Amino acid sequence: MTSRWVVLKFGGTSVASARNWGRIAARVTELHAEGKRVWIVASALSQVSNRLEQAVEEALGNREPASLGWIQGRHIELAGEIGLSVTAYEPVKELLEELGQLLEGVRLTREASPRLHARIMSFGELASTQLGIAALGHHGLHGQRVDARDLLISTEVDGQQPADRFVQAQVDPVRNVLAAEAASDACSLVLTQGFIARTPRGETCLLGRGGSDTSAALFAHLIGAESLEIWTDVHGMFSTDPRQLPTARLIRQISYREAQELAAMGAKVLHPRCLGPAAEGGIPIEIRNTMDPEARGTRIGPSLSDDAAVMAVVMREGVTLLNISTLRMWGTPGFLAKVFAPFAELGISVDLVATSQSAVSVTLDGVPGGTGGEPFRRLEERLKLLGEVTTREDTAVVSIVGRRIRTVLHKLGPAFAVFREHEVHLVSESSEDLNVSFVVGQQDARTLVDRLHDQLLPKQGSDELFGPSWELLTSKQRRIETAEAPKPWWHARQAELLDLVSDGQSRYVYDLATVRAQAHGLRQHLTAVGGLYYAMKANWNAEVLRTIAAEGLGIECVSAAEIKLVRELLGDAIPILFTPNFCPLDEYAVAFEHGADVTLDGPHLIDLAPELFRGRELGVRVDPGGGLGHHEKVVTAGAQAKFGHPVADVAEVVRAAAEVGATVTGLHSHVGSGILDPDSWGRTLQGLLAVRDQLPDLRWIDVGGGLGVVERAGQQALDLAAVNLRLAELAAELGDIELRMEPGRYLVSEGGVLLAPVTQVRRKGEVRFVGLATGMNSLIRPALYGAWHGIHNLSRLDADPDGYWHVVGPICETGDVLGRDRLLPSTEAGDVLLIENAGAYGRVMASRYNLREPAAEVVLTV
Ligand code: ADP
Ligand code: ASP
Ligand code: MG
């Protein structure tokens, strides 16, 4: 047989359903029709390798063998889906029984050597290929199941830890077409396992987690395949993990070296070791999506372009940072050699390095035995002889990967602003000019990747390097998947809403039922809170105020005019909290006159107008330091914020009050806005309780508002029950002091939308714009805070998006952009766009800038 082989590798998700085996069969049939022979390398069913690791842990701990049960169930389920007969299932059953026996051995001896561990892990791939050969048979494809261990033999590497020989084995690419021919029995379809190989002594070993890609490249080299296709659950390599950031762009074409860099720096879609054998054999690789087999993926081959470019922003978690510093060694020759010697001897590989005259910092990615293990302990011991050693485990490496990255450093300028809030422990630039990496705290890594990606990678336009984004590639599928998910209120009212703006004017529309439901939810969940005050600055529409008041909330006001409006609309009985900031003094008089609880920002006010405050009950707003929020402009605490008196100096207010016969009966604090961390208010309360001894007359404590709502996909809604729990835990310390909160956005944001007719659409170069009848004159939040509002084409709710658009208004300001790079369907003048979450800080912040009237308000009462 002379026709050439094509190697197809299918990952965990790709082999986990009968439907996918149908897709695999279709690809084989296609290639056979082109006269090609097909060599398939399969992974274990998705999650099975993880479960095997857990099964070992369970056996070692003599725990319930839940994972083994799960694994057996998973295989039986797939066998059923494929329609396997009992006889055909028998070999799988035997394998799983053998697995059970090995695990039982581990349980009895409470020992799992790396050798045994490798054997146990190999069952994932052994079983999946057993099911696979039967599945292909059902599609009329009769292939040969080859044991990968007969063809891939590991090499022993100097200094390699014994454990690594079994679980991180290295296999050198060899060309041995004859052996493969013999194993394939001259047939045109082979199915073999990824991940597993044999040591020269004949024991089962593994190529490291995710190593099936490397198996595939090794087989491709071995049989001199003409190409290698890696079939997985995404379309290819993306500019960042598409499941974390849906705006990730598909990389159409890159070189082996660049792909290796990306994989090594964190693009988990490929095992970094697979690029070597493919490059050595000159075998082109294509990554493709099993679930979308028609789509083009990423092609990897020899270098094609030398154009400088940022290609991706990726991250690796679980990195250990080690710092060795000494002044004794200053300038001594051979210091570096001494530092690195123990790493080599103990088989611990170093990842990033930064050096100074007297210190060396390195990162370690995967220490054999972990940082609790023997090799690491010995490493520390050895290094301590050289200088002071410090270790940080909770770090991550964020890397900007590209081509000739030094020449694009200037582009990083604005992106570097993101480091304002993130401490960087180490910066390194690769000597090959392929990446710049930052070691940061693990908790900061995700946001950092998102922000750097946002700033460095283009969202629009398509070229040699970048194809569509993940969200664009999958939008149709997502729409089908989310068809059943609950929709926001406005979905059901599409026709009615379109009618409201048929005159071409923009409108704010409020749905009172949603506002009522939010208020009700707060009352129901926040049982630890005695006084809920609606921060009416968020939206003072009369109907909105009435709705919230009817749910039993008080009102928080920040100006005399707000107080007067409340009394006029809602009467004298409703409680008012007055928390102004730098306001004219006569407004305090208005507040007292209307029976409001009044809060001061500091003792300076009493000094300014002692008579105004004489004999009064006063609240004091304190600044606990720190501060939280969705943008620096909404963080209301910390040294530079204009609000509140330092909490440590609260006694100064008590003293100033006493001098005018006033008492401090309230303590208030508000740290910021749009907060989704449920612990925030409990923390504030704890801080405030620390000073309560200095306030003998205290009647109430207000822990502020700032309760956030979900504004974009992927955010976790605020867990009100958790908020309440944290507050309730401190209830005993409160005694009869009333706990208060003052939510604004939470009550009204989701109940309001801005409807804006499209006046024009245009393309300028690669960029498309949708122009609306209104812009920052109606909704200033995007321009002011960079706030993100979901934007939808209300006229075409069911249409699939066709690409990215900048959504802009008619105001003569570059910043008049309501949304940048928004995924929208093909949009035309006359359509109506809907801007979500516009009920809070929308109309109330509007202006007549450019003498353009902002959108008027419409209230839906039913
Ligand atoms: P398989 O089981 O098919 O080998 P993997 O789970 O190993 O699949 O790899 C595919 C996953 O890699 C994707 O689902 C994706 O979430 C993740 N991934 C991480 N970074 C990237 C990236 N830069 N490009 C593409 N995928 C990535
Ligand atoms: N099944 C192995 C793992 O999950 C190998 C692979 O899928 O690439 O790590
Ligand atoms: Mg993989």
How would DSSP label each residue in 118-171?
HHHHHHHHHHHHHHHHHHHHHTT---EEE-GGGT-B-BPPTT--HHHHHHS-B-
Residue type, 631: H
The model's pLDDT over 73-124, given as tens digits with 9 standing for 90+, comes to 999 999 999 999 999 999 999 999 999 999 999 999 999 999 999 999 999 9
- Please state, rounded to an integer, the average pLDDT across all residues of the chain: 92
Tokens of 680: 């925030």
* pLDDT value at 631 more than 70: no
Across 372-382, average pLDDT: 90
Return d(Cα 835, Cα 393) in angstroms, integer: 43
Q: Per-residue pLDDT averaged across 381-400, rounded? A: 92
> If you average pLDDT over residues 663-689, what whole number do you get?
91
> pLDDT over 90 for what percent of the chain?
76
Note the pLDDT of residue 332: 74
pTM, two decimal places: 0.79
- Please report the pLDDT score of residue 185 as a whole number: 87
Which residue's C-alpha comes closest to atom 5 of ligand 2? 210
Q: Is the pLDDT of residue 334 over 70?
A: yes
Tell me if residue 187 is catalytic. no
Q: How far is residue 101 CA from its own chain's centroid?
A: 40
Confidence of residue 431 (pLDDT cuts 50, 70, 90): confident
Q: How confident is the model at residue 443 (pLDDT cuts 50, 70, 90)?
A: confident
> Residue 177's Cα: distance from chain center in Å?
45
Distance, in Å, from the CA atom of 452 to the CA atom of 418, rounded to the nearest integer, reads 8
Q: How far apart are CA 608 and CA 535, in angstroms?
A: 27
- Is residue 298 in contact with ligand 1, taking CB distance under 6 Å? no
Confidence of residue 684 (pLDDT cuts 50, 70, 90): very high
Between residues 200 and 712, the one the model is more confident about: 200
The tokens for 9 are: 């590798």
| CB-ligand 1 contact for 243 (6 Å cutoff) | yes
Write down the pLDDT at residue 629: 56
pLDDT higher than threshold 90 for residue 558: yes
Instruction: Report pLDDT digits (tens) over 131-177.
Output: 999 999 999 999 999 999 999 999 988 777 788 899 999 999 999 98
CA atoms within 13 A on the CB side of 760: 7
More confidently predicted of 353 and 206: 206
Read off the pLDDT band of 636 (50, 70, 90): low
For range 745-768, the mean pLDDT: 95
Confidence of residue 375 (pLDDT cuts 50, 70, 90): confident
Q: What is the distance in A from the centroid of ligand 3 to the CA of 13?
A: 10
Which among 10, 43, 239, 241 is the best mutation to test ligand 1's pocket, defined by most ligand atoms within 8 Å of the CB?
A: 241
Ligand closest to 194 (CA) is 2
Span 742-752, mean pLDDT?
97
pLDDT band with cut points at 50, 70 and 90 for residue 244:
very high
What gap in Å lies between CA 526 and CA 520, rounded to an integer?
10
Q: Name the H helices within 394-553.
A: 412-415, 442-456, 470-481, 494-500, 512-525, 542-550
Lowest-pLDDT range of 123-127, 160-164, 604-608, 661-665: 160-164
pLDDT for res 632: 59
Atom 25 (ligand 1): residue with closest C-alpha?
237
Mean pLDDT calculated for residue range 173-198: 93
Ligand 1 contact, 143 CB (< 6 A): no
Nearest CA to ligand 2 atom 8: 210
Reference 176, options 211, 199, 150; nearest CA is 150
pLDDT for 762-792, tens place per residue? 998 888 999 999 999 999 999 998 899 999 9
Q: Band of the pLDDT at 731, cuts 50, 70, 90?
A: confident
Under 8 Å between Cβ of 300 and 213: no
- Our mutation pick for probing the ligand 2 site, out of 48, 49, 52, counting the most ligand atoms within 8 A of Cβ, is 49
Q: Pick the residue whose CA is nearest to atom 10 on ligand 1.
A: 269
Counting atoms of ligand 2 from 1, which one is nearest the CA of 44?
1
Q: Report the atom number in ligand 1 closest to the C-alpha of 236.
A: 25
pLDDT the model gives residue 303? 87
